[in-house]
Chains A and B, each alone.
Chain A
Amino acid sequence: MPFLAQWWDLRDLGNPVGHFLQFLNDHGPDWLPYVASALIGCVAVVLFLVPSQMVIVWAERRLIGRIQARRGPNRTGPWGIFQTIADTIKLLAKEAITSRYVDRWVFWLAPIFIFVPGITVFAVLPFGEHMVLADLNVGVLFLAAVGSVNAIIVFMAGWSSNNKYALLGAMREVSMLISYEIPQVLTLLGAVVFTNTMSLSGVVHWQDHYNTWLIFLQPLALVIYFISASVEINRSPTDIAEAESEIVAGYHTEYSGIKFGFFYAGEYFAGFAIAAVVTALYLGGWTFWGLEEWVPGWIIFLAKLYPIFWLFIWARGTLPRLRVDQLMAFSWKFLLPLTLVNIFVVGLEVLIWQENDLSAGAVLPACAIINLALAVGLTVAWARFLGHARADLRPRRALLMKEVGAIVYGQEP
């Protein structure tokens, strides 16, 4: 066991757990600490996720209400704080209507498996220095691998429903997930190349060691990762698979009651996972330039995680939805070249740094400035090259005419 502080040092919750496991190790069979640590880790993850989800669902509804110039839930308890509990009870009490022609086993298993990627990813996420369930040294690879299981689960749900709308939703979802895997993985790779480690707590330590956050060094990668991840978890403005106004509810049309509740909750768990990955990789994890001496690291981590989720909520409340082929074109034509250039530039920078053995104090600011300029310049230039700034795509107003009778169809204003 690595060096631990006192067991009552709650700045890192790994301390009491570590001391407990040490106690078990001394007084029990050999396998007991491993089993105990696994159990404690799982329970801790679930204890974090479920209350967070309940609070965040309420917060999202109130925040979206605020964006829409109305109050959110305000009847169930003061400021509506029991709304999620009320919704859960309602979903549990609803009749679970199952059509006769569904594929029984797949239909029943899909909402259970929807939690698998969302929760499993938390095994490698570091909430504090010793608060990682499994500090794999290929943590980023684990993230990418487990995250793509989502596609199969969604397709299971859509296919087994025996419903054309659900199938349309599932097909759209799978095509989108495949499209956005590559930018997602490549941007994660950018962080890995820079920090020379795939372990997430290793990346956090690197950021702590060099006193900087990766967001300053890789803004483009962060933005692209955020967009790709938002698509992966079906968050608006990219919630095509469950686009309510078009195909009713997409792949979860046929699910009612608590099964639908599972899909709904699973989306939030995945959202937390993404926000936690962004926090750990790009925002310095549990470190805050020395503040972690006084404030517990996991509180700093959560304080960074929830504002990232606020960005998801903000995008949902403001932006309309893209069409599925536009979304895929965005990924393949726009994001993919940008991520490739990003990897190339990052690799070059790291190479120059290592080969010439320069000091970090000189290299890192230079990298930050170069990468920021690259991010802005490349995005604008590539957009123009692809034709996104065409004249006929610019916003216009209607022509005002005083007399009737003229036909101006086809004339440019």
Chain B
Amino acid sequence: MSRALTGTEVEERIGRGFPGAVVEANEQWVTVAAEQLVAVATHLRDDPELDFRYLVSVCGVDRLDHFELVYQLQSLSRNHITTLKTRAPDHKDPQVPSLVPVWVGAQLQEREVYDLMGIRFEGHPDLRRIFLWDGFPGHPLRKDWLGMPGGRHAGLGKFPRED
């Protein structure tokens, strides 16, 4: 069984080398400040006890006032997984450092997040839209995107949900 490392366990490992990097840690995930993301990720990958050599998935979540990036990490030799998160506080023009220098597998996934959510990744070798065409208006997976041409405004209205 893959052992899921809790956020608190990972937090202590990170906390030793990078004080102040961890913003939040609980049972499931650990959130790291965006400025230290690359350094912390490199440490997670290279640390022999953690050995998170395999980046499983990159996902962006629109939390209405900030964006959240969720990284699932896996160690093949030790067979444990964990969740690393980071935040992009600016909702209009979010920027996050790219993890491509750490794990090459982030390349296409970060392009996808950029395309559908508009989060820019600094340091990505080739950041361009991947699914939608170059002139596409907006970024569809955002919660405030109502991409109907001619008619609705892209505004701050919340996405209608059943209550």
Contact = CB atoms under 8 A, between A and B. Distances in A.
A405 to B, nearest CB: 5
B51 to A, nearest CB: 11
Interface in A369-413: 404-405, 407
B79 interface: yes
Interface residues of A, number: 3
Q: How big is the B interface, by class?
A: under 10
B63 to A, nearest CB: 35
Contacts of A405: 76-77, 79
Contacts of A407: 76
A199 to B, nearest CB: 67
Contacts of B79: 404-405
Main SS of chain B's interface residues?
loop
Contacts of A404: 76, 79
Contacts of B77: 405
B76 to A, nearest CB: 6
Interface of A: 404-405, 407
A407 B76 CA distance: 10
A409 to B, nearest CB: 12
B26 to A, nearest CB: 28
Interface string B121-161: 00000000000000000000000000000000000000000
Interface of B: 76-77, 79
Main SS of chain A's interface residues?
loop
Nearest to A404: B79
A405 B76 CA distance: 6
6 contacts: A404-B76, A404-B79, A405-B76, A405-B77, A405-B79, A407-B76
A407 B54 CA distance: 14
A353 to B, nearest CB: 70
Nearest to A403: B79
B1 to A, nearest CB: 11
A382 to B, nearest CB: 44
B137 to A, nearest CB: 34
Nearest to A405: B77
A271 B34 CA distance: 69
A101 B76 CA distance: 56
- What 6 A-B pairs have minimum CB-CB distances, sorted nearest first? A405-B77, A405-B76, A405-B79, A404-B79, A404-B76, A407-B76
A298 B98 CA distance: 77
A404 B79 CA distance: 9
A407 B77 CA distance: 9
A45 B59 CA distance: 70
Nearest to B76: A405
A405 B79 CA distance: 8
Nearest to B77: A405
A408 to B, nearest CB: 13
A404 B75 CA distance: 11
B56 to A, nearest CB: 15
A405 B77 CA distance: 5
A299 B76 CA distance: 70
A407 B75 CA distance: 13
A396 to B, nearest CB: 24
Nearest to B75: A405
Nearest to A407: B76
A326 B6 CA distance: 55
B104 to A, nearest CB: 16
A406 to B, nearest CB: 9
Contacts of B76: 404-405, 407
A404 B77 CA distance: 8
A395 to B, nearest CB: 29
B53 to A, nearest CB: 10
A407 B51 CA distance: 15
B99 to A, nearest CB: 23
A95 to B, nearest CB: 31
Nearest to B78: A405
A358 B112 CA distance: 83
A12 to B, nearest CB: 72
Nearest to B2: A404
A365 B76 CA distance: 68
A19 B77 CA distance: 90
